[in-house]
Structure 1
C-alpha cells in the first residue's frame, strides 16, 4: 500500500458541498491499495503510521506520534498514488488494486488505525471529493508497505 501523510492543524473532505469527514490536529492520509496488497500490508502500514514520530515535543523536536498527541486522522482513498508516469504524458494506473479490493483495504486500513487509538474519519471511496487542509510545518511523508 502507498500513503501520503500530511501533518495538519485541521483537514476536511466534502462530497457535493457536504462535509463528510474532518480531522485535526493530526494527520490527513491519502492511501492507495496496489496490486498484490492484502490485509497484512494494510495492518503493517497502519501500525507504522500510528507510531511515526512527526509531531513536536516540548523541545520543538519531532518526537511524538499522532497517538502521543491524542490526534485524529482523516483517511482519503486516492488511487492516483499508483500513477505510472514513466511513459508518455498520461499517467497509467494499472498498478492500483481493483476497486473492490481497494475499497476493502482502504476501510481495513482505517479500522486498524482506529484500533491503535486514533479517532478516524474518512472520505467516500470512489467519490469526487474536495479536500481542504492546513499542512502544519509543512510536514509531508510518503510511505509504502
Structure 2
C-alpha cells in the first residue's frame, strides 16, 4: 500500500461538479492499493498518516520551525482519495504498468474499510468517490509531500 500525502491549507474533491469532500488545514492523502494489501495494512497506513509529524509546533519557542506535530495534534482534516496509479510500475518503457494494483472490486471494498477506520480514529475525515472521475483541488502548504509505504 502506498500513500502520497500532502500538507494542505485546504483541499476538496468534486464529482460531476458537486463537492463530495473537503477539508481545511490538514492532509490530502492519495491511497494506492496493491494485491497484498488487506484490512490490517490499511489500518496501519491510516495510523501512520494520522501520526506522521509534518506540522510545525509554533507554540513551543524551542521547536519553532520543526516538524513535530501530526494532524491529530493540530486538529486538522484528512481527505482520502483512491489513486490506483500510485501502484504503477514505471521502470520499463514509456507506458505505466498497472498490474500491481489491486482488482477494482476488492480495492473498492478495502478503500471503504479504510475510510471507516479513519473516521473511527479521527473526527475530521472526508473522502473522494472510488472509481469516479474526480476533480481534486488543493492548496499545498509548504509544499510538503511524502510517499508512505506499508507492506504486509
- Give the TM-score normalised by the residue count of structure 2: 0.92
Name the one with the larger helix percent: 2
The residue that corresponds to 1:16 in the other structure is 16
1:8/1:27 contact within 8 Å kept: yes
Shift of the alpha carbon at 1:23? 1.0
* 1:94 corresponding residue in structure 2: 99
Name 1:4's counterpart in structure 2.
Answer: 4
CA shift at 1:60, angstroms? 2.4
CA RMSD of aligned residues (A): 1.0
Contiguous gaps of at least 5 residues in structure 1: none
Q: Is the 8 A contact 1:67 1:116 kept in 2?
A: no
The runs of at least 4 aligned residues of structure 1 exceeding 6 Å deviation read none
- State the aligned residue count: 145
Which one has the largest radius of gyration?
A: 2
* Equivalent-residue separation in structure 2 for 1:103 and 1:72 (angstroms): 22
State the Cα deviation string for residues 64-98 of structure 1 (Å, max 9, x = none).
10000001111000000011112211101000001
- Local SS of the residue matching 2:71: coil
TM-score for both structures, normalised by structure 1: 0.96
